Amino acid sequence: MALENILILAAASLLWATTFRNHGRTWFMLIASVVVIFWLQPALPIRGADFFTPVATLVLVVLTWFITTDDETRKQRKNIIILAIVAGVVLLLNLTRFVPQLQLFTASRPPQLETTLLVFLITGLTLIALSRLTRFSASILTVGLVLTIGLFLLIKIPALSLLLSSFLRTLSGQSLTNVSINDFRWMGFSYVAFRLIHTIRDKQSGRFPSVDVGEFITYVIFFPAFTAGPIDRLERFIKDLRAPFAGLTLEAFYSAGQRLLLGLFKKFVIADALALIALNDTNATQVTSTFWMWVIVYAYAFQIYFDFSGYTDIALGIAQLLGIKLPENFASPYLKPNLTQFWNNWHMTLTQWFRAYFFNPITRWLRSWQKPMSIPMMILLTQVATMLLIGFWHGVTWNFTLWGLWHGLGLFIHNRWNDATKAKSAAWATSPTKLAILNVSGILFTFHFVAIGWIFFALSSPITSWQVILKLFGVQ
């Protein structure tokens, strides 16, 4: 989100909360979120794609709601009204095609109306076909899960996204000569996919609250958290959404405003200033001294923290204006004495997601073997696999693989080290000074481990990354 997007959204939320209080608050959140996903979608070189990408997000969300919700809730009439209103908003946005002055919310001129109506028709028919299915739930949930993960891979794996882009270009009658992996940027999809997978998995384990389609859409694409998280849980979000909202109290206003200002300062003052000197593909090859290499690596480590946690503060601040308390995503991660603690406090909602839906089930499964493998082997396997997946979540490239591997192995080594030295260090650190020594050296070591890991994250080539590391240690 750019500064202007944030300021407009914060002002609109504030205005709504102070003027209308609880009247239509959930409608405001729903409609604003629908409009915002069109507004934030960047322009794409494929004709019509920047309009149909947000439409695809909505279709995907509605289909997921349809297969996860219980029969009784699904049949309620209000869902049809909500869907009609959401479709109406999309059609209004589409109609701005004919009024250039009103094309404020789409990156380029919206496509012809017929195509949108066709998409609605196909979605409607799919919903009808789904509702006629006998033996509805179990297998269809698995299909939904596989399709969501498949779509995620299609977007994230460069070779596949190139194929997708060629297909879409052919579909829209464009030439294939300029096809590129950067053709297709689906704004917010990483987060949307994770919220959808979470709801499907929870439904499979029988813990899915009954929500109407409007509540579900608002949860998945809630505009403050749409582009950069946090990844909330449906049950928690719905509790806030349904709680009576008596308007914005002065106390809540101060606290939300403070959070928002803090976020703006972190992102647009600190992070953007650090970005001028932070490690990137260009300066990585230009810097020749070890000292300056450390400076740009440190700058990157702080830039990414202030950027990301600043966005989180902004999201939490805006949401709070509307009476929604989104979960925290960062808790002083660079002040943690070991890598395990770092990951418990960095992008927490993502790591909790991976723990709940990947790490724990895999660990449980490995534990239940007749002849279980050795504990260290199990820890190595689960930690590396989890961190590799977190790497792939950011993009399926060699550098994200190396970054995931770096952290997976780091967590494994920390676990073994901790196991071997836990009793000894507890016996040694008997005074507050000794405890402080252990703590401070742990913090410094962890921070440097993470900072070196960021080199893979910031750069696009493994060779350049390796050269930067050699330079840091004065080897080259």
Partner 1 sequence: MTTEIITPIAKFIAEKILKQPSKVISADEALISSGLIDSFSLMDLALFIEDTFGVRVEDTELNAETFDNLEQLASLIASRK
Phi and psi based region of residue 206 (left: phi greater than 0; alpha: psi -120 to 50; beta: remaining): left
Decide whether 56 or 379 has the Cβ nearer to partner 1: 379
Residue 129 or 427 having the CB closest to partner 1: 427
CA 427, distance to chain mean position in Å, is 42
- Shortest distance, position 107 Cβ to partner 1, whole Å: 37
Largest CA distance in the chain: 76
The residues binding partner 1 (CB under 8 A) are: 201-202, 205, 207, 336, 338, 340-341, 344, 352, 355-357, 359-361, 363-364, 367, 378-379, 382-383, 415, 418-419, 422-423, 426
In the bound state with partner 1, the residue whose beta carbon lies nearer, of 379 and 435, is 379
CB of 343 vs partner 1, minimal distance in Å = 9
Contact present, 28 and 22 (Cβ < 8 Å): no
| Alpha-carbon gap, residue 322 to 241, rounded angstroms | 9
Contact predicate 201/357, CB 8 Å: yes
Asked if residue 110 lies in contact with residue 96, where contact means CB atoms within 8 angstroms, the answer is yes
**d(C-alpha 267, C-alpha 256), whole Å:** 16
Phi/psi-derived region of residue 347, left when phi > 0, alpha when psi is between -120 and 50, beta in every other case: left
- Minimum CB distance to partner 1 smaller for 146 or for 426: 426
Nearer to partner 1, 258 or 418 (CB): 418
Q: In angstroms, rounded to a whole number, what is the distance separating the alpha carbons of residues 314 and 267?
A: 9
For 385, other C-beta atoms within 10 Å of its C-beta total 16
Is 161:152 a contact under the CB 8 Å cutoff?
Answer: no
Residue pair 178/45 in contact by the 8 Å Cβ criterion: yes
Asked if 394 is an active-site residue, the reply is yes
Comparison of 384 and 455: residue with beta carbon closer to partner 1: 384
The contacts of residue 268 (CB under 8 Å, 6+ apart) are: 3, 310
Tell me the closest approach of the beta carbon of residue 376 to partner 1, in angstroms: 10
Per the omega criterion (within 30 degrees of 0), is the bond before 209 cis?
A: no
- Which among 394, 407, 414, 448 is annotated as catalytic? 394
**Catalytic site positions:** 394
